[in-house]
Structure 1
Amino acid sequence: MELWTEFAAKSSGKEFVAGGFGGVAAVIAGHPLDTLRVEQQHSRLGPSAFRILRQLVAREGPRGLFKGMAAPLASITFQNAIVFQSYATLSRKFDKDIKPTDPPSFRGVIFGGFGAGAIQSLIVSPIELVKINLQLQRQTNDKSSLKGPADIVRIILNREGWRGIYRGFTITVLRDVPSHAFYFSTYEYIREKLHPGCRKNGQETFGTMLVAGGLAGVVSWMSCYPLDVIKTRIQSQSNSTPLMYRGIVDCFRRSVKNEGWNVLWRGLGTTLTRAFIVNGAVFTGYETALRLLFTNNF
C-alpha cells in the first residue's frame, strides 16, 4: 500500500500521462510493420516481408496493414502509461538516498525495468491475443467471419472461459520481464553517451531521444525474439479447433523440428526495423510530453 501511495502521490501522475502520449505515437508509427511481423512468424504467406506486403495489399488494399489496430490503439494509452509510471516509481525505489532531482542509478533502472515488464504482461497478454487473431484472419464475404475485437473475445470466452483470454500469459512474462530491463537500461545508457549530463538536466535533443529510443527497442527485441515467435504461435490458436500446441515446450519442439532453428528468428529484420521506428517515437513522445506538460523545459 505504501508503494501505491508513492506511485499516486509523489509523481503526480506525470509519467502516466506522458507514457500515454508515447504509446499512441508507437501504435501509429509501427502497426503496419507489426502486421508483417505477425504474418512472417505465423508463416501463412512465407517468410519474405516483401512478398507478404505485395499479397496483403493486392488482396485487401493498404487497409490490410492496419488490421487489428483498434485493440492496441484503444488500450495503448493505458498500457504504456502504466509501464512508464511503474518504471519511474520502481526504478527510484531501489535507491534509498536518491535526491528528487537526481536520475535513478543503473541498478535502479534495471530493477525498475524488471518490475515494469512484469506489470505490462498482465495488461498486454490479452491485448496481443486479440490483435494477433485479427491480424491473421482473412477478408471474406462470409457473414460468420470475425468483425472485430469483440468477436474474438466472445468466441474465446464461449470456448475456454476467462482462462482462454490469458492464453500465452506465461511466455509473455518470460518475454517482457528481462526485455524491459534491457529496454530501459539501454535507453538510459545511450542517451547519456550521446548527450552527457542529459539524464539529470533533461536537455537532450530530439535526435538523442530518437536514436536512444530506437536502439533501446532493437536491443530489447533481440533479447527476447525467439520467445515472441513461440508466443505468436501459441496465441494464434485461439480461433482454432483442435489446438495445435499443448504448451510452450511443445510449440518450441515442434516448430524447430518441422521448420528448423531459423524459425525462431523469422521476421527479425521486419521487427528490428519496426522497433527502431516505434521506440524512437515512444521515447520522443514521452520525453516531449513530460517537458511540455510538466516542466516547460523546451
Structure 2
Amino acid sequence: MSKKREKPIHSLIAGTSAGAIEAFVTYPTEFVKTRSQFGGKREPPLTIIRTTLATKGITGLYSGCSALVVGNAVKAGVRFVSYDHFKHMLADPEGKVSPARSLVAGLGAGVVEAIFAVTPSETIKTKLIDDAKSPVPRYRGLVHGTVSIVREEGVRGIYRGLFPVMMRQGANSAVRFTTYTTLKQFVQSTAPPGQTLPTAITFGIGAIAGLVTVYTTMPLDVIKTRMQSLTARQSYRNSFHCAYRIFTEEGLLRFWTGTTPRLVRLMLSGGIVFTVYENIMRVIGTSEDGDN
C-alpha cells in the first residue's frame, strides 16, 4: 500500500515554523562561524564570543539574526515543499525512495531554496555581521541594511555569491536528506509496523545528518561567506578566483575554518528542524509516517 503524499501547505507550515525556531535558537553559533571565516587574523570561536560580549553585549551575538530567522523560515518551507515534491516524483509505486533518488531530490530542493530564499538572506546576514565589526556600524538593522545594500549595489547586491550558495545548498540538502531518510528508514524497519518514532530518536537521526553535512560541504560554506563579505567585490573576481586565493594564500585547511561552530549549529539544526517538522506534520493532519 502506498504512503499518502504530504500536502504542500502542511509541508510549508511545518517547514517555516521549524526553520524560524531553529534559526533563533542556534544563531550565536552561526554568528561565530561567519565571523571566523572572514579574511584577516584568525580568531578562535571562544575569542570571538568573549570580544563580542565585551564590546557589544549579548545582543552582539545576534547581529544579523532577523535576516537569518526570516530567511531560514522561508528556506525551510521551500526546502521541505520542494523535497516532498521531488521525492514524490522519484518514489516507487509503494512510496519508497532509494538513497540515490533521495540524493537527487535533496539536490533539487537545495538549488530551489538557494535561488528563492537562501542567497538574499545569507548575503544580508553576512554583510550585517561584517559591518557589526566596525566601531560605528553603517547599518541600523535588517530593513535599513537591506535598503542600503540594494540602493548601493542593486538587486545583484543581495544575490552576490549565488553560485557557491547554490552549490552549498544543493550539497547540504542532498547529503542531509539522504542521510536522514536512509537512517530513518533503517530504524523504522527494525521497529514494529506503524509505530511512530520517539522524538529523541528523530532528534538523534537529524543530528547525525547535520554532522555528515558539515564535513562534506564546509569548503563551499567558506567560499560563500567570503563572496558575500563587504570586501568581496574588491578581493575576488568570482567564486573560483576566491577558492584559488584561499588555497594559495591561506592553505587547504582554511576551507574548514568555522567547522566547530557550524558543526554545533547543524547538529542542533538537524535535530530541531526534523523534530519540529515531524511533530507539526503529525499534529496538522499528515506525516511521512502515514498519520492522519
Q: What TM-score comes out, normalization by structure 1 length?
A: 0.87
Q: Runs of 5+ in structure 2 lacking a partner? A: none
The equivalent position to 2:211 in structure 1, one of 218, 242, 251, is 218
Name the residue aligned to 1:260.
Answer: 251
Name the residue aligned to 1:114.
Answer: 107
Shift of 1:256: 2.2
Asked if structure 1 preserves the Cα contact closer than 8 Å seen for 2:8 and 2:81, the reply is no
Name the residue aligned to 1:234.
Answer: 227
Deviations 1:144-189, CA, capped at 9 Å, x for gaps: 7211122332333233322222110011111111221111010012
The equivalent position to 1:124 in structure 2, one of 118, 124, 129, is 118
Asked if structure 2 preserves the Cα contact closer than 8 Å seen for 1:26 and 1:281, the reply is yes
> What amino acid sits opposite 2:237 in the alignment?
R
Asked if structure 1 preserves the Cα contact closer than 8 Å seen for 2:207 and 2:267, the reply is yes
Matching of residue 49 in structure 1 with residue 45 in structure 2: yes
Shift of 1:284: 0.4
Shift of 1:43: 4.7
Shift of 1:242: 6.0
**Cα distance 1:24–1:242, how it changes in 2: closer, same or farther (>3 A)?**
closer
Q: Distance in 2 between matches of 1:18 and 1:265?
A: 32
Name the residue aligned to 1:184.
Answer: 177
Name the residue aligned to 1:273.
Answer: 264
Name the residue aligned to 2:73.
Answer: 77
> What amino acid sits opposite 2:226 in the alignment?
R
Q: Distance in 2 between matches of 1:56 and 1:113?
A: 36
**Cα distance 1:12–1:260, how it changes in 2: closer, same or farther (>3 A)?**
closer
Q: What TM-score comes out, normalization by structure 2 length?
A: 0.88
| 1:7-18 correspondence to structure 2 within 5 Å | 11=7, 13-18=9-14
Task: Tell me how large the CA RMSD over aligned residues is.
Answer: 2.5
Name the residue aligned to 1:136.
Answer: 130
Comparing 71-80 with 133-142, greater Cα deviation is found at 133-142
Name the residue aligned to 2:280.
Answer: 289
Name the residue aligned to 1:158.
Answer: 151
> What amino acid sits opposite 2:54 in the alignment?
A
The equivalent position to 1:250 in structure 2, one of 241, 244, 248, is 241
> What amino acid sits opposite 2:274 in the alignment?
F
Shift of 1:129: 0.2
Instruction: Give percent identity, aligned residues only.
Output: 26
Asked if structure 2 preserves the Cα contact closer than 8 Å seen for 1:118 and 1:177, the reply is yes
Q: Distance in 1 between matches of 2:28 and 2:40?
A: 17
Shift of 1:44: 5.3
Comparing 114-123 with 248-257, greater Cα deviation is found at 248-257
**Cα distance 1:18–1:166, how it changes in 2: closer, same or farther (>3 A)?**
same
> What amino acid sits opposite 2:86 in the alignment?
L
Shift of 1:88: 0.8
Deviations 1:32-91, CA, capped at 9 Å, x for gaps: 100000011115562311111111111111111111111122233222111101101111
Shift of 1:108: 3.1
Name the residue aligned to 1:24.
Answer: 20
Asked if structure 2 preserves the Cα contact closer than 8 Å seen for 1:17 and 1:81, the reply is yes
Q: Distance in 1 between matches of 2:48 and 2:150?
A: 31
